[in-house]
A and B are shown apart, each in its own frame.
Chain A
Amino acid sequence: MPSELVVNSWNCQVTGQEPWPDDVQLYQPYETEQILLPDNANCLAVQAFLKMCDLKYVVEYRTNAEEMSPSGRVPFIKCGACLISDFEPITAFVGNKGISLSAHLSEVQKADMRAFMSLVTTVFGNAENYITWLDNSTYCQITKPRYGSVHPFPLNHLLCYLKRNTVIKKLSVLGWADKTLDKVYAEVDKGCGALSDRLEKSKFFFGDQPTELDALVFGHIYTILTTPLPNNRLASTIRGYPNLINHCKIIEKQLFDCYGRPRKSIGWSSTNNN
Chain B
Amino acid sequence: MGAVHAKQRGKADILEERDRNEELQDLNLKAKARVDKVSFNGIKRTKSPLLNYAISPLFSAKSFEEVIKTTHEVRTHLNRLGIFKKIAIDIETSKGPESSPYGYEVTFHVHEVDLMSVALSTQLANNEALLSVRGSLTNVLGKAEGLRGEYSYGTLKTNNMALIMSKPFLTKLEPVGSASIFRNDSDWPVSGYRLRDTGMMLDLALSVTSQMRHNLQYEVDWRQLYPSSKYAAFEVREDAGHKLKSALRHILTLDRRDNPIFPVSGTMLKTTVEYSGLGGNINFLKGDLAMQWNVPLIKDVILQAGCNVGHMYKWDESHTVADNFFLGGPLDIRGFNFRSLGPQNDGNFVGGSTYYAASLHIFSPLPFRPGEGGFGDYFRSHLWINAGNCGDFTSDKGGDNHLETIRVAAGIGIAFKLGNVARTEINYCFPLKFLSGDGKVSGIQFGVGMNFL
Contact = CB atoms under 8 A, between A and B. Distances in A.
- A and B in direct contact, judged by CB atoms within 8 A: yes
A159 B222 CA distance: 11
Q: Which of B226, B233, B244, B279 has the most CB of A within 10 A?
A: B244
A6 B346 CA distance: 13
Contacts of B233: 2-3, 5
Interface string A1-44: 11111110000000000000000000000000000000000000
Interface residues of B, number: 21
A63 B230 contact: no
A163 to B, nearest CB: 10
B279 A152 contact: yes
Interface string B168-189: 0000000000000000000000
A266 interface: no
Given A2-B346, A7-B230, A152-B279, A68 B238 contact: yes
B231 interface: yes
Given A155-B242, A158-B222, 18 more contacts: A1-B347, A2-B346, A2-B347, A2-B348, A3-B233, A5-B230, A5-B237, A63-B241, A66-B241, A67-B241, A67-B242, A68-B240, A70-B230, A151-B242, A151-B281, A152-B279, A155-B222, A155-B244
B130 interface: no
A78 interface: yes
A62 interface: yes
Interface in B213-245: 222, 225-227, 230-234, 237-238, 240-242, 244
Interface in A56-92: 62-64, 66-68, 70, 78, 83
A64 B222 contact: no
Interface string A147-159: 0000111010011
A272 B232 CA distance: 50
B280 interface: yes
Contacts of A1: 347
Contacts of B222: 155, 158
B93 to A, nearest CB: 64
A97 B334 CA distance: 48
A64 B241 contact: yes
B242 to A, nearest CB: 6
Contact of B231 (A5, A68, A151): A5
B231 A4 contact: yes
Q: Which of A62, A63, A64 has the most CB of B within 10 A?
A: A64
A64 B348 CA distance: 21
Contact of B241 (A3, A68, A158): A68
A1 B345 CA distance: 10
B230 A64 contact: no
Q: Which of B231, B240, B241, B281 has the most CB of A within 10 A?
A: B241
Contact of B226 (A67, A153, A155): A67
Contacts of A2: 231, 233, 346-348
B230 A3 contact: no
A64 B240 contact: yes
